[in-house]
């Protein structure tokens, strides 16, 4: 068993245009002040990490890491959620996802995909250069518009979608293998990899690639009404990253898992700040510890009600209180004794 590292904070929901959230020095100082030891960093904003410069310049990398460490913060992982999303986009979502791409290639799906693949590959290499061993991403989605089987899906449609998704990711997984980096797909609604079954469908198509792993986030399973504790039992060998995020699901006579197109605050299933939802984090931390999870507990704040800065500060303490310092011995070692074989056989009446 290992003691889970933390607390850390995913910065995606906090990066902004006002201090301290508009600079690497400012946001890491703020995170440390909130009680965090690490941060997980999105890679789309060059104010915080310029991927191209980070790949080419050791001096830049040293300065980047030095600022964080001077502020008492470690970089836990890099995130390519948005670039990974653009590796596979169904045309129905072209307009919405174009906003994640540089302006020069918007409206050009092929150029957008090529750019996204290059970004993910670059982030893999930069992760290695920064001394990291895992990176989080979204898988993207081609089959998501056909999630509900009405109208009836054409025979082979889902299979073709997953064959194509795997073909796009296989070269990136091979680059990850060359660089010693696990790609941890956040299992997430909106992505083709949104539950255990779809993750297994993908694994089968990439030949159980050792670098294809999971980011575990129980909040997404609460909203799908999936057993998030059994999920750890099934996939613990592939769980390499952990988002600590809470959620609640309170169905009514009017609304269930689909949410009725309502805004987050009015949905039956919604994300909550840590401790305000329904996730049994005592059991989550216990299971991950039991299975030897060796990564960071990374708070991802998403709440329809609470202010993000309050959620962040409360989240650091919440994680610290839930991390289990593993025991070096069993509780009954004090009565342990040595016994020879003859005495053992006698004790068994043999």
The domain that holds 108 is classified in CATH as 3.20.20.150
For 17, other C-beta atoms within 10 Å of its C-beta total: 7
Give the pLDDT confidence of 259-281 residue by residue, as tens digits.
999 999 999 999 999 999 999 99
Strands 74-80 and 134-137: parallel
Instruction: Say if CB 236 and CB 291 are below 8 A apart.
Output: yes
Please give the pLDDT value at position 345: 85
Question: Which tens digits make up the pLDDT trace of 98-132?
Answer: 999 999 999 999 999 999 999 999 999 999 999 99
pLDDT of residue 52: 97
Domain count, the chain: 1
CA-derived radius of gyration, the chain? 22
Range of the domain at 241: 5-347
pLDDT-based confidence at residue 232 (cuts at 50, 70, 90): very high
DSSP 302: -
Residues 289 and 325: their CA atoms lie apart, in Å, by 9
- Torsion angle of alpha carbons 305, 310, 316, 319, nearest 10°? -30
Nearest partner of 220 among 254, 204, 196, judged by Cα:
196
Tokens 């993207």, located at residue: 140
- Write b or e for each residue in 148-187: b if 16 or more Cβ atoms lie within 10 A of its Cβ, otherwise e: eeeeeeeeeebeebbeebbebbeebbebbeebebbbbbbb
pLDDT band at 331 (very low <50, low <70, confident <90, very high): low
Looking at residue 145, what is its pLDDT? 97
**Residue 189: C-alpha distances to residues 11, 192, 197, 229 (Å):** 20, 8, 13, 18
Give pLDDT tens digits for 8-43.
999 999 999 999 999 999 999 999 999 999 999 999
């Amino acid at each position: 068993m290992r003691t889970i590292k933390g607390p850390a904070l995913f910065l995606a929901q906090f990066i902004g245009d006002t201090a301290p959230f508009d600079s690497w020095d400012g946001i890491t100082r703020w995170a440390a002040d909130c009680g965090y030891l690490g941060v997980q960093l999105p890679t789309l904003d060059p104010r915080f990490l310029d991927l191209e410069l980070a790949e080419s310049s050791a001096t830049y990398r040293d300065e980047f890491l030095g600022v964080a460490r001077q502020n008492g913060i470690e970089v836990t992982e890099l995130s390519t959620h948005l670039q990974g999303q653009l590796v596979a986009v169904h045309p129905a979502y072209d307009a919405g996802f174009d906003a994640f791409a540089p302006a020069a290639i918007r409206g050009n799906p092929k150029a957008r995909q090529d750019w996204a693949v290059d970004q993910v590959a670059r982030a893999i290499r930069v992760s290695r250069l920064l001394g990291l061993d895992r990176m989080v991403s979204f898988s993207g989605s081609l089959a998501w518009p056909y999630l509900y089987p009405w109208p009836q899906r054409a025979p082979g449609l889902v299979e073709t979608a997953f064959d194509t998704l795997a073909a796009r990711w296989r070269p990136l997984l091979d680059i990850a293998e060359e660089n010693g980096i696990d790609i941890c797909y956040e299992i997430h609604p909106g992505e083709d990899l949104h539950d255990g079954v779809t993750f297994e469908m993908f694994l089968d198509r990439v030949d159980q690639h050792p670098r294809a792993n999971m980011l575990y986030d129980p909040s997404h399973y609460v909203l799908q009404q999936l057993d998030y504790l059994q999920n750890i039992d099934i996939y613990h060998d592939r769980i390499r990253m952990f988002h600590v995020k809470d959620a609640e699901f309170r169905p009514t006579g009017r609304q269930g898992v689909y949410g009725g197109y309502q805004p987050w605050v009015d949905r039956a299933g919604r994300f909550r700040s840590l401790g305000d939802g329904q996730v049994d984090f005592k059991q989550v931390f216990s299971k991950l510890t039991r299975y030897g999870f060796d990564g960071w507990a990374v708070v991802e704040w998403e709440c329809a009600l609470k202010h993000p800065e309050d959620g962040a500060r409360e989240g650091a303490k919440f994680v610290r209180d839930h991390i289990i310092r593993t025991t070096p011995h069993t509780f009954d070692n004090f009565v342990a004794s040595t016994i020879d074989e003859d005495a053992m056989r006698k004790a068994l009446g043999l």
